[in-house]
Chain A
Amino acid sequence: MTTSLRKNVLSLLAATIAFLPVHAFAGKDNDTLVAAFQAKLPSLDRYHSPGREGFLLGLLAYDALVYRDPNTFELKPLLATAWRQVDDKTWEFDLRQGVKFHNGDQMTAEDVAYSLMYAADPENKVFNRMTGGWIERVDILDPYKIRVVGRDVAPLALEYIIQLPVVPKKYRESVGIQAFSEKPVGTGPFMVAERSGNDVVFKRNEDYFEGGGKSKPAIGTFIYRAIPDVNTQVAELISGGIDWAYYIPSDQAEKLKRMPMVDVINAETFRIGFLTLDAAGLSDPASPLKDERVRKAIAYSMDREAMAKTLVGGASKPISSACTPSQFGCFADVTQYPYDVEKAKALMAEAGYANGFDIDIYGYRSRPVAEAIIGYLNAIGVRANLHWLQYSAVIQARRDHKTPIVIDDFGSAGVNDVGAILPFFFAESPDDQSRDPVVTQAVKEAGTIADQDKRKALYETALKQIADKAYWAPLFSMPVNYVMSKGVDVPVPADENVEFWRASWK
């Protein structure tokens, strides 16, 4: 027994030594950029990969018809060289010729029609119902010209089109969805080379076409590595195990700024934070929130500047309107509620709540922000009882009319138009807690017309009303911290859609 034990220990030692030289470094020497993400990609088929990581996958390995510049939000040609609106419901696209999929097949109108119709069918349960749900049919006019016909007027058509990747019909149908999700083929600047453990390895597409908004990558290999714990990501950044990470919390980012080996950049996203208030009294017909003065008092009680500066940090700015500032139609010149505790208290007294009241508040994202909000509410006598749940549970509670106040945030699913946020939270949607006829009418009408000037005017009406009646307490923008090693330059976008093909070694 002892001899066999000794043998086993010796062989274990031998195995350990045999493994010693294995240590893959990220970096310039092997032309490999390693980026860490908190979430794994559930599927390599963009149509079945939700969330912001899915969005990145869509940009890396696939192309859409149209490309949106991540800093100017200008729409540029990609797989389509030109497009025009034929009527309110119909868009026509001229397709780029000579574009090849990663397997060598030519991209044609057949592939585009197949891809868009795949997204349109609810049975396929693609990553986001909104992006394809508006499409009724795709007509192929010739091998390089198509028409996309919407079910109704779709003012956000192009914002959705930029999210819909073109996949090869023949290949995808022949191998099936499951096999495609493991060995996907697109036209994008990177090709999926391998998936092992936590890594997805992307190689440069040497045949990537020129003339579109995207370009052939400067870096040969890109590795998407899932590291769920942000502290581990930070340790890897310091030790040089990875080159890039984002969504690094402010406190960690502050410490990293002092490190010689990394750069920290804070940049805006579409995400904004706010409170939704049950102004319609859905959760309780006798809710104090039905009183406009109480809602205004809550709006006055929030020190947005302090929260943006100290809790969110970086480039975070206070916001006063119910939309992301960069979005089309985001009218910001609305009634303001600057931090004023005395005014808030006076409004509470006027409404008959000089002694305050107890209320339930729901949250899911940032505990420190929630604690601050509860503190601000407490200062004017609103004693908030916090329910801390998962995102989906909070949303369901609101839809079940159980939530007086929700500490919420929204990223508009990457759509740069208030048409993505207002119909979700107003216009008698399940998440509409105000049920205001003026807002409802304006938002609904804006969703059914194509005239951009008219839409803008309607959204202005809605946003003014939302602010006048204090249906929301908009709080701040939610930028994120990007951390990258000093040896690499990865351009930072304003919409989280990092373009790794533009990354280069210094």
Chain B
Amino acid sequence: MAYYIARRLGLAILVMLTISFMSFVMLKMSGDLAISLAGEGSGADYVEFLRKTYGWDKPLPVQYWNWLIKALQGDVGTSFYYGSPVLSLIAERLPATLSLGAMAITMALAVAIPLGMAGGRAPGSIIDRIALFIALLGVSTPIFWLSFLLILVLGIQFAVLPISGGGSVRHLAMPAMALAFYSMPAIIRISRAGMIEVMRSEYIRTARAKGLRPWQIYLQHALRNTLVPVVAVASVQFGFLLGGSVVVENIFAIHGIGYLTWEAINQNDYPVVQAALLAVSAAYVVLTLLADIVNMMIDPRIRLE
């Protein structure tokens, strides 16, 4: 078991290193921070001065190495655009992203689990078809389109929710709905599949034979067993939500990590992009790792592989 965890951990570190290197190279190729920083109309000599000052005239691998050594020591640098330490920028923005993600996953679970279970209870029924249709809609609807649709209906037509900004549950409602819709399909499918399997099991037959009422069977026996794989999927979905909120945070102007990342990409502010990507991928890697471990505990066969 310890070996298994160590191997997963090693893989996770490799994944993060690859992500950081890829993002570093891609960002460096897409634009020139010295020119952005110098501003329109600045002379080439000043651009050159900035390059020298910050060490951007060195070869790419050297720049990456310098960044990496510092990052490993806990210093992820200072934002060139904001002029403040990257860690404090991330710390400032993290609560908004976390609360948005938490609200979205809560909404998604609250809708998707009952829907999936109701569908799985009677495959092929009307409710099952509705559940599958919603799952299909969720994977095929572009998130920006859904966001604007929500703004149009809830923000302008009925004017029941604020359109942009953060700071209250009401502000987070629309972006959370958009994100929740995006993460629902996986949860619907997994809870539906789980329910189908559980309903075929012998203990449900026993429960029925005991003469328990249907809701007792579903809530006390089926739900618990269906939830186990759902928890694993939900943790991965939560990781997706943290990383995938760039578009949503921009549309709804949420002062979070996604918005920060987008700004930093536009400015070629690579210390911020690097740190934000690392933070999100670290969260994702940790969540996947947790899911793996949970899976392993549930299913001894994985341990033997």
Contacts and interface: CB of A to CB of B under 8 A. Distances in A.
Contact of B41 (A1, A122, A130, A227): A130
Contacts of B156: 235, 238-239
A238 B159 CA distance: 11
A443 B203 CA distance: 90
B143 to A, nearest CB: 13
Interface in A2-16: 2, 9, 12, 15-16
A401 interface: no
Interface of A: 1-2, 9, 12, 15-16, 19-20, 22-23, 39-40, 42-43, 48, 50-51, 122, 125, 127-130, 133, 177-178, 181, 196-199, 225-229, 231-232, 235-236, 238-239, 241, 389-393, 395-396, 399, 410-413, 420, 424, 429-431
B165 to A, nearest CB: 6
A12 B151 CA distance: 23
Interface of B: 30-44, 46, 49-50, 53, 81-84, 96, 106, 110, 148, 151-152, 155-156, 159, 162-170, 219, 223-224, 250-253, 255, 259, 262-263, 268
B54 to A, nearest CB: 10
A198 B259 CA distance: 10
B38 A391 contact: no
B83 A181 contact: yes
A23 B165 CA distance: 11
A110 to B, nearest CB: 25
Nearest to A364: B31
Contact of A235 (B39, B42, B152, B165): B152
Contact of B251 (A196, A229, A390): A229
B41 A413 contact: yes
A315 B251 CA distance: 29
B151 A395 contact: no
Contacts of B106: 12
B32 A392 contact: yes
Contact of B46 (A129, A229, A411): A129
B239 to A, nearest CB: 22
Contacts of A429: 43-44
A228 B49 CA distance: 31
11 contacts: A2-B223, A19-B169, A128-B42, A133-B46, A198-B166, A226-B253, A229-B251, A232-B253, A235-B155, A239-B155, A399-B44
A225 B165 contact: yes
A410 B156 CA distance: 37
Contact of A239 (B33, B41, B148, B159): B159
B83 A197 contact: no
Nearest to B107: A12
Contacts of A19: 168-170
Contact of B253 (A9, A227, A431): A227
